[in-house]
Amino acid sequence: MSNQTQVTTKKDIRSLIQGDQFKLAVQQALPKHLTPDRFIRTALTAMTKTPKLMECDQASFFSALLTLSQLGLEPDGRRAHLIPFGKQVQLIVDYKGLAELAMRSGLISNLHADTVCEKDVFTVDRGEIKEHKINYREPRGNPYAYYAICRFKDGSEKCEVMTKADVDAIRSRSRAGNSGPWATDYNEMAKKTVFRRLSKWLPLSPEERDALEADDNQFEHRTIEDAKPVFGAHAIAIDSAELPMIAEAELSEAEKSRIQERELAEAQ
């Protein structure tokens, strides 16, 4: 790719993000606690921090942004990450982003994920964490396990525990296993991994389900073409003449049903 082509691509992506059509699509998809101006500024900041994003395919880039706008998450590097994978943009919803979505359900009083090290006192009995004691006055040793625990408002609890070997097996199947947050924030990704396993037991809302489906950091081998972006009904109402690289997603019957339910709830 020539320097001139790179400059043009960067300019096109920036101008499209700042354009009225994309702002309108984001505004219609975002929940009330986020403004389109803030979301767009965060996206531009992500591009500045990771310049390779501006050289990626426009379709995957905007698919990731529109998915995040529907979920009400920002690509801030804390709740969600946009990772260049070749010419494609890989969306990774962080543990903290998934936890934020789960808390919105109103059924959960507390979520906690932690690292277990060699010198910690850690006891699990029949699927229940009995104790986890840490002596912060001494080195804790190397991590050997991770856990996530959910306390519901009715007082019941559910937990999941994974060894470091379990987490590394998941990492080895990730296309970004040697880059991005897996390389820079291993413990956070490990917490996210065990939380994702815990989330299978939780009463997830459609937003949480969409987050798990939209996350490109899946636990099985999958090509980028197989990953279908999750768009809201309004998010796909972008003028194709202005954003020719963004195609309308093919929605499953379940996704269409969820969208209709969401629209009916908003209308009431």
Same domain, 153 and 111: yes
- Environment class of 166 (CB within 10 Å of its CB; exposed 0-12, middle 13-18, buried 19+): middle
Positive or negative: CA dihedral 170, 172, 176, 181:
positive
* Same structural domain, 16 and 69: yes
The verdict on residue 216 lying in a domain is no
For residue 215, is it within any domain? no
Query: Does residue 230 contact residue 213 with C-beta atoms inside 8 Å?
Result: yes
Q: How confident is the model at residue 211 (pLDDT cuts 50, 70, 90)?
A: low
- Residue of 264 and 123 predicted with greater confidence: 123
Render 86-102 in DSSP notation, one character per residue: TTEEEEEE-HHHHHHHH
pLDDT number for residue 152 = 93
The structural domain count of the chain equals: 2
Helix H or strand E encompassing 171: helix 164-172
On whether both 36 and 13 belong to a single domain, the answer is yes
The reply to whether 196 and 233 lie within a common domain is no
Are residues 195 and 157 both part of a single domain?
A: yes
- Contact (CB, 8 A) for 79 and 94: yes
Q: Are 85 and 149 within one domain?
A: no
Together in a domain, 25 and 111 = no
Say whether both 112 and 194 belong to one domain: yes
Distance CA 111, CA 164 (A): 21
**Structure tokens given for 131:** 């104790």
CA 136, 165, 216, 54 torsion-angle sign: positive
Note whether 244 and 164 are same-domain residues. Answer: no
Tell me: do 18 and 87 sit in the same domain.
Answer: yes
Residue with tokens 């702002």: 23
For range 117-123, the mean pLDDT: 98
Same domain, 113 and 196: yes
Q: What is the DSSP string of 8-27?
A: HHHHHHHHHHTSHHHHHHHH
Q: How confident is the model at residue 207 (pLDDT cuts 50, 70, 90)?
A: low
- Calculate mean pLDDT across residues 122-132: 95
Residues 10 and 88 in one domain: yes
Residue 242 has pLDDT above 80, yes or no: no
Q: Is the pTM of this model over 0.85?
A: no
Output the six-digit token pair for 45.
Answer: 């900041």
CA 175 to chain centre: 15
- Please give the average per-residue pLDDT across 191-196, as a whole number: 90
Average of per-residue pLDDT across 53-58:
85
Per-residue pLDDT, 108: 92
The pLDDT-based confidence of 268 (bands split at 50, 70, 90) is very low
pLDDT tens-digit map of 156-175:
999 999 999 999 999 998 87
**Residue 33 sits in which domain range?**
3-93+223-267
Do the domain assignments include residue 61? Answer: yes
pLDDT of residue 253: 45
pLDDT of residue 26: 77
Range from 5-14, 179-188, 196-205 carrying the lowest mean pLDDT = 5-14
Residue 102 confidence (pLDDT) above 70: yes
Give the pLDDT mean for 51-65.
85
